[in-house]
Amino acid sequence: MPGVLASIPTYTLDGVDSREVTVEVDVRRGLPAFAIVGLPGPAVKEARDRVRSALVNSGFDFPMSRLTANLAPASVRKVGPSFDLALAVAVLAASGQLDSGGLEDLAVCGELSLGGELRPVRGALAMATGARRAGMKRLAVPEECAGEAALVEGLDVVGVPTLARFVAMARGEWTPEPALPACAAPQAQPPDLCDVRGQRDARRALEIAAAGGHNVLMVGPPGVGKTMLARRLPGILPAPSLEEALEVTQIHGAAGLTRGGLVAERPFRAPHHTISAPGLIGGGSVPRPGEITLAHRGVLFLDELPEFSRPALEALRQPLEAGSIEVMRSQRTLVFPAAFNLIAACNPCPCAKPGGACTCSDLDRARYHRRLSGPLMDRIDLTCQLDPRPPVVGAEPSEASEGVRARVEAARLAQRERLAGSPAACNAELVEAEVAAMVRGSAGLRRILHRSGMSARGHDRVVRVAQTIADLDGREALGAADVEEAVAYRAAGSEAMAVAA
């Protein structure tokens, strides 16, 4: 007796993106068995028992025949429970309990409980994007994922509570309401810069960093406000555009961190210094995004920078330059986005005691600062020394975040207009040719750069920071004062490294 074959399209996570998988089920006469082939992971192999129980408990028959399920393409390893619904639907179609005519142009994904309820899965937005890219017209997902998946335009997304409801929909017996795009619950208002007293140099560095997407290192003893300042950077960053918000939502959805809708705030990630290199940059046997990818389009705060492991720090060099990271696992290369503001903080010496109380020798200081390599420091745009003196009690409050954010947004708007048609989104992402064009017509600016004694990368980064300073002041062309201020912030980092020499 020839077998009966049914196939259902579904999607699996591939890094932070998705990849189409076709679930093929063949039912034929033979001893009862249910085999899943096509490089299934442990969770996919366990789907046999979940699918069997879900079908029976939903009122359907599980075929007492020989079932073979193939997950194509067979060369890609399949992980996670998101294939459950596709397997169950394909079994129903292959066994004649469901007419495949109601499944045309329909993709499905979801985890099944033993009772037939659908449970949410990671990466709903990525899977919806993949379905639209493949030309699918409809996508069925668990109800909890529908708002996130519906963020993709041009695709009809339906939220289904149970397997029985899905079958009723496929038979035309139940018409669900189309899912509507959802926004995640708003987070608490970020802390305000007016809470910080003094530290004008550091506040200025953060404003420049926010306006141009630059990297900052703050140096100072404990208790002077390094962490306090860093946690207030999201409050002066402009709100993400819709495209950026979708990027962040897709990344956090792939990591299982979304709250069921569009993430409308810029992320702030502050990993502990004991984090491993794979935890920071991403990886694992099944590659998942690391902290630098979770901070994409937001802020990555690394407190006690010299205490991070050397492999973790050196792994930052490529993403700080390229805005992405390549992770190679099992002869595969995945590219994770990683365009973020790096805000780092460290103490001036190992003991971190202020003033004359410091007991560190020159050798201790050199060993401490040598943990930060020259190539890494070369990628830090602004370095500022924080004032260790406590603020005057009762001093006037500093400028609030609202006023600073207005200047930052105006500077970002000027950059968007100037960079229209360019792949760069802000000054920190300018390519070398665009940077060179900014100073080509000014011999005075080139002399300032030449006197600085910096590397070619240092010159490029100084010009990018100087352009941001000009944008904050509402000027199109660079001036000598802009370049000198940018050189001064970069020279502070060189002086810190010179202590270690």
Are both 363 and 226 inside the same structural domain?
Answer: yes
Could you tell me whether strands 4-14 and 17-28 are parallel, antiparallel, or unpaired per DSSP bridges? Answer: antiparallel
**Residues 426, 266 contacting (CB under 8 angstroms):** no
Whether residue 241 lies inside any domain: the answer is yes
3-state secondary structure 129-158: HHHHHCCCCEEEEEHHHHHHHCCCCCCEEE
Q: What share of the chain is helix, strand, coil (3-state, %, to 5)?
A: 40, 20, 40
According to DSSP, the β-strands at 111-112 and 4-14 are: unpaired
Exposed, middle or buried: residue 242 (CB in 10 Å: 0-12, 13-18, 19+)?
exposed
- The domain tally of the chain equals 3
Q: Which two tokens stand for residue 106?
A: 């329909």
pLDDT, residue 19, reads 92
Based on the fold, state whether residues 488 and 445 are members of the same structural domain.
Answer: yes
* Structural domain contains residue 215: yes
- Tell me: do 349 and 402 sit in the same domain: yes
Residue 74 covered by a domain: yes
Q: Does 181 fall in a domain?
A: no
Cα dihedral across residues 355, 359, 361, 365: positive or negative:
negative
- What DSSP letter does each residue of 159-225 carry, written as one string? EESBHHHHHHHHTTS--PPPP---BPPPPPPPPPGGG--S-HHHHHHHHHHHHHT--EEEE--TTSS
Which residue has 């924080």 as its token pair?
386
Interatomic CA distance for residues 156 and 162, integer angstroms: 18
Domain closes at, from 340, 375, 410: 410
Please name which of 23, 64, 66, 29 lies closest in space to residue 47, comparing C-alpha atoms: 23
Place of tokens 């991403």: 282
Taking the CB of residue 4, how many other CB atoms lie within 10 A of it? 15
64, part of any domain: yes
| 376 and 467 share one domain | no
- Co-location of 311 and 452 in the same domain: no
Looking at the domain assignment, is residue 501 inside a domain?
no
For residue 111, the one-letter residue type is E
Determine if the peptide bond prior to 63 is cis (ω within 30°).
Answer: no
Quick one: which of 106, 329, 301, 342 has its CA closest to 209?
Answer: 342
Looking at the structure, tell me whether residues 406 and 486 fall in a common domain.
no
Three-state SS annotation for 421-434 = CCCCCCHHHCCHHH
Q: Are residues 254 and 349 in the same domain?
A: yes
- Asked whether residue 186 is assigned to any structural domain, the reply reads no
Does 316 lie in the same domain as 402? Answer: yes
Domain of residue 89, CATH code: 3.30.230.10
| Domain residue limits at 452 | 430-495
Cα–Cα dist 198/142, whole Å:
51
CATH of the domain at 349: 3.40.50.300
Q: Copy the structure tokens of residue 320.
A: 């700080």
Contact (CB, 8 A) for 28 and 4: yes
Angle, vertex CA 61, rays to CA 60 and CA 66, nearest 5: 140
For β-strands 156-160 and 138-142, DSSP reports them as: parallel
Q: Does residue 381 share a domain with residue 449?
A: no
Q: Where are the beta strands (DSSP E) in 29-75?
A: 33-37, 66-72
Whether 75 and 201 map to the same domain: the answer is no
Integer-rounded Cα Rg, in Å, for the chain is 27
Q: Is residue 177 part of a domain?
A: no
Question: In the listed set 379, 410, 441, which residue is the last one of a domain according to the structure?
Answer: 410
| CA pair distance 397, 262, nearest whole angstrom | 35
Question: pTM here?
Answer: 0.91
CA dist 430 and 422 (Å) reads 9
Same domain for 29 and 160:
yes
Which domain-ending residue is among 376, 410, 444? 410
pLDDT per residue rounded down to tens, the chain (501 residues)? 455 689 999 999 988 999 999 999 999 988 999 999 999 999 999 999 999 999 999 999 999 999 999 999 998 889 899 999 999 999 999 999 999 888 989 999 999 999 999 999 999 999 999 999 999 999 999 999 999 999 999 999 999 999 999 999 999 999 998 899 988 777 778 899 998 888 889 999 999 999 999 999 999 888 888 999 999 999 999 999 999 999 999 999 999 888 778 988 999 999 999 999 999 999 877 788 999 999 999 999 999 999 999 999 999 999 999 999 988 876 678 899 999 999 999 998 888 877 677 888 888 888 888 889 989 999 999 999 998 877 665 566 788 999 999 999 999 999 999 988 888 889 999 888 888 888 776 777 777 777 777 888 888 899 999 999 999 999 988 888 998 999 999 887 655 544 433
Residues 350 and 283 in one domain: yes
Q: Rounded distance, CA 80 to CA 46, Å?
A: 10
